[in-house]
Structures are given as structure tokens and as C-alpha cells.
Amino acid sequence: MCGITGWWSKNTPIDRELFNRMRDCLTHRGPDGCGSYFSKNHNIALGHRRLSFLDLTDTGTQPISNENKTIWATVNGEIYNYVELRDELVQRNHIFSSQTDSEVIIHAYEEWGMDMVSKLEGMFAFALWDEEKQLLYLARDKFGIKPLYYYVDNNQIIFASEIKAIIENKDIKREIDISSLCDYFTYRYIPSPKSIFKNIFKLETSNYISVDSDFKITKKEYYKFKFDNKEYSQKKLVKEIDNLLRKSVERHMQSEVPIGSFLSGGYDSSALVKYMSEFDKNANTFSIGFKDWDKSEHQFAEIVSRIYDTKHKSEILDGTSLEILNDLMYFYDEPIADISIIPTYLISKIAAKQNKAVLSGEGADEIFAGYTWHQDLLWEMGKKYLKKAKKWAWDIPENKFDVESYAKAMSMGNFDTKELKTLLNPEIHDKIPIDSNWYYKKFHNENIPSPKRFQYMDIKCFMGELVLTKVDRASMANSLEVRVPFLNTEICEKVLNLDPKVYFDKKSQKVILKKILKKDLPKSILSRKKQGFVGPDVYYKDFNWYKTNLENSLLVKHKIINKSAIEKYLNEEDHWRLWKIAVLEKWYKQWMV
């Protein structure tokens, strides 16, 4: 995987030294090499940091161009169907100078224009400069696996894989967008196209933009998820998904260096390791565990590792790992309050010592409706609780598959409009949104059946904005590429066009994967309840840690957050809200002081 950056300046020649410093802010994304392209008038610059997997020679160095050097590209990603596209383009008389998958993008653009983006199967964010048309294109993959940010004003556009490369240019002001800050507390992330900073934007998933010489931006959504409700044989679907996943894993293992895998002992990673073992015997697998916790994933991962004969490594965490949050805020650029950011970073660090790339199971829960909020109840309840609820008339959290139900499932310390007024300094109350759930409403579709309403929101919101961001930053901080075989267009389209009863069973999670794995895995694995990549609650309930880290809060000092709110949450031992505040405090100290 790689890091990319670029700069188009209308009136002022680009400072080479500054631009290369901006590029090299992304060295962690690509420590294997670097390159820069500058136009003759020095008004256009493209930069690249390389983490190499295919064509390890110098011919794989980027930025890359066509034969007459009128089209240039810098690419972050992997194009898994590049062999098929390359063969087709060669038949159409295109001449390739390397064996890289990235070069396919240049020749595909020559052949099909930007319609070619919809032909790409993979994870990518790229920039393409057309010298003759004086057009710059920025594109991002349909799931949002790889990131791309851009800053634009009347005289320039600057883009990069991470914000830190943009703000290395000290002329770009680090001014917080308060509405984005509010979104962070509501969603745990800042939804696209916004970022934490004013005038810096995220390119949305499934989109590309074109930028002309007047810096006018035109945006196009090149791919839209489609839904149907077709009847289908479950037995036939199991067989087809088995074949499609095997094919996807094989493609994701395309590399001139060995590929390993994360392994939790759950269905998703176990399925990937099952297929991986068919192509690479004794591959490396990695897991994280938590000290003195009976649900710790490492013990289940080790069972699966023995079945598929992998070379497995586990590491056990304790509460001291919370201090890593200080380092993480440098790599994340924006505050992100998912509670698994620490174990995701640490497992990436472990894996990077032995592999340059690993497989991971992101996307399986979204595609096969594997989350607890896909059930009629917002979370699973035992029979004992339901019996008492009936007897004592307790409120049961019914899932109506509406925005309010989804927001409740996602909240982990809810900050709605009312709670934001408690939290934030009165001087910025005018920036609090009238409707704190605006982003969920953008993707809620009442015309599709449950649980597909939530599956689509998961793909666009939870996965596209939070999960994949977390994985990208945590892994690339360690120069590790994470590949996600479940996020395959054919698999996704196959499932989302079926009647949910074909792939969704309220009594058995991810029934399709379970049927694929049932011949291989023991009951201890097959009967496990869904568990996120988290530690025990006590891990996040160190209230002395919160008190220490928020005692002299800069957020309070700089009139962003009320001290009374922090005291309130400490008294109530509201660890979820305190976690969001603590993450923001750490981020603020890293980037705003």
C-alpha cells in the first residue's frame, strides 16, 4: 500500500522542498521508496510513497505516466482484476512499461475515460492528471477502503492520503469546524465529505471528482448499491459464496511477498484463513487477547490456527496500553472514538514484524447481516431477562429499523442535540446541528426490507466512515497493508439482491458462513456469540485515568467543552462519553497546540 499527495497551484510555482516534505509525512504508508513529478511550469506536483508488493523493481516507482507523458497518476491501492484489464488493454494496442497493477489505471483512462473507474475491482484512492485537457481527477473505491482528503481555495488544490501531509504546508490554517466536532460526538467519527478542519474535505466513497483550471470541482458518484428481494435457494447460495470467497482470497493474495492474516476465532477471519491455507501452507496469523478475560479472542484464534496449521502469534494486553492513545492521535489526524483503535493498532504492529500485508474480515457483518442491531431487539437478551421483562413490564428496546433505532445502536455514549448543549461551551451552541442524526438519515431507505435498511447504513456509515478508517490508519501507521476479501463487488451484489431470509437467520448469526465452516470447526467456535474487536468493559472503565487525563483539559481552557460536563460524567461513571472526550483531548493536544 502507499501514500499519495499532490498540489495544483494556479499562480505560484510549487516549492519543491516543501512539497517533498508533505509527501514524506506519509513515509509510514510507504517506506520502500518515493517519487515526485513536477510539471514544466512547476504548477503541478504529484507525490508518492511506496509500499511494494508487485513489480519490486524500479519500474514500479510512481508517479507513473503514459508513453508520451501527457497523463500522470499517483495511486494508493491494489487493483485485483488488473490482469484481466491489462490483457484487454494489450489487445487494444496499449503498451505497458511495468508489471504493476497501478499502470492499468493510466491505460484504462486512455481507453474509456473516467468510466474506467467502475471497471476497477479493488481498494484504491488515486489522482490522475491529464495535461492536454488540464484536468485533475481524484477517485476513491466504492467501499471507502482507502482514504483521500483535499483542500481547495480559489488559487490551489492540495490532496493527500492523510490530512497531516496537507497541513504540513503552514499556509493551510488548522481551524476546527465546530459542526464537525459536534458530529464526532454523535457518530464517533466525522462523516464525509466533512473533516475536522474547515476547508479540508474527504472524498466520499464510490465517488470521483474532476477539477478544472478554474478550480471548479465536479463530483460524480460512479457506483450505487442496488437492492432486490429475490427468492433463492440457500443451499445454492452457500455453494456460490464458498466459490466467490475462495476466488476473492486468491486474488487478494496476489503479491511477490507473503501474505498473513488477522485471526480472531470468529466466522469472518476463520473463513479467510480456511481459504488462505489452500493457497499458502503455514501462513502467519495474528491475534490480540486481554488479560484475565474469559472471552479473550486469542484462545479461540489459537483453536482455529491449529485446525488450519498456521504459524500463530498472540499478544495479551492489560490496562497500560491505554497510554498508546497519545501516539495514535498522530496517525489518525482526526479524532475517532471507536473503542478498538488500540487493539487494532497493536495487532497491526505485531503483524508488521513478520508480514507486509494481511487479510482481515471487514465487510462480512455488513454483507451477511451479522451485527446484533440487525435483530428485532437492539441487542441480544437472554431468556431470563425476557421472562423478567414480561413479568415486571420492563421496557424492551424494540428495533423498528428506523433512524432512531440505528442511532441508539450506534451511540456508545449518546450525544444528541440536547446533550451537546450540556457538553459544549455556550459560545459555540449556534454550531450545534438542529438534527444530530442528519448523516444517518442520508442513507436510511424505508423502501427496502429490514435488515437491509441497516445493512446499507452500515456499509455507508459505520463501515465506510469508522471501521475502514480505523483499520487503514492503524495498519498503515505500522507500514502494514490490510486486505479485505469480503469487500468484493460480486459477493456484495449477490447477497444484497436476495430476500433476507435466504442469508439472515434470527437464531443463527451469519448462517451462510456458518454452513461453509461447519465441517471444519468445533462447536466452541461455531456456537460463539458475536463479539466486536474489543476488550472487557473494565478496560475502558479506568476512571482514575479519565480524571488524570482530563483534569487540566485544554478543551475546557480553550472554551470548547464545559468543565461541569466532565465532572458530571465522572460522577455518573459514564465511561462511553468520557472516552469520546478523552480521545478528543488527546487529538487536540497533538494537532492544535
Same domain? For 475 and 350 the reply is: yes
494-514 per-position pLDDT tens digit: 999 999 999 999 888 899 999
**60 in a structural domain:** yes
Please return the burial class of 478, using the count of CB atoms within 10 Å of its CB with bins 0-12, 13-18 and 19+: middle
Distance CA 410, CA 187 (A): 7
| Res 16: pLDDT | 96
Give me the CATH number covering residue 494. 3.40.50.620
224-238 per-position pLDDT tens digit: 999 999 999 999 999
Give me the CATH number covering residue 24. 3.60.20.10
Same domain? For 300 and 361 the reply is: yes
Q: List the single range of 25-39, 248-262, 383-397, 436-450 with lowest mean pLDDT.
A: 383-397
Same domain? For 210 and 164 the reply is: yes
Which long-range contacts does 300-304 make (Cβ < 8 Å, 24+ apart)? 300/264, 300/265, 300/266, 300/524, 300/525, 300/528, 301/263, 301/264, 301/265, 301/269, 302/265, 303/265, 303/522, 303/524, 303/525, 304/263, 304/265, 304/269, 304/270, 304/273, 304/521, 304/525
Same domain? For 166 and 251 the reply is: no
Same domain? For 202 and 307 the reply is: no
Q: Which residues contact 306 (CB under 8 A, 6 or more apart)?
A: none
- Identify the band that residue 560 occupies on the pLDDT scale cut at 50, 70 and 90: very high
| Res 52: pLDDT | 74
| Res 397: pLDDT | 73
Q: List the single range of 170-174, 434-438, 535-539 with lowest mean pLDDT.
A: 535-539
| Res 271: pLDDT | 97
Q: List the single range of 108-112, 289-293, 306-310, 521-525 with lowest mean pLDDT.
A: 289-293
**563 in a structural domain:** no
Same domain? For 197 and 94 the reply is: yes
- Identify the band that residue 466 occupies on the pLDDT scale cut at 50, 70 and 90: very high
> Which of the listed residues 171, 197, 221 is the one where a domain comes to its end?
221
Domain span including residue 307: 234-319+326-371+460-537
| Res 290: pLDDT | 85
Same domain? For 503 and 481 the reply is: yes
| Res 573: pLDDT | 94
Which run of H or of E encompasses 399?
none
**473 in a structural domain:** yes
Same domain? For 263 and 211 the reply is: no
Examine the pLDDT at 455 and tell me if it is beyond 80: yes
| 2 in catalytic set | yes
> Which of the listed residues 221, 244, 259 is the one where a domain comes to its end?
221
Orientation of helix 82-91 relative to helix 103-112, angle to 10°: 50
In total, how many domains does the chain have?
Answer: 2
Which long-range contacts does 81-86 make (Cβ < 8 Å, 24+ apart)? 81/119, 81/120, 81/121, 81/122, 81/251, 82/122, 85/119, 85/120
> Which of the listed residues 537, 553, 574 is the one where a domain comes to its end?
537
Examine the pLDDT at 583 and tell me if it is beyond 60: yes
If DSSP codes are grouped into helix, strand and coil, which group holds residue 37? Answer: strand
| Res 456: pLDDT | 97
**453 in a structural domain:** no
Same domain? For 272 and 216 the reply is: no
**401 in a structural domain:** no
Examine the pLDDT at 57 and tell me if it is beyond 60: no
Same domain? For 155 and 13 the reply is: yes
| Res 337: pLDDT | 95
| Res 56: pLDDT | 57
pTM: 0.94
Same domain? For 93 and 127 the reply is: yes
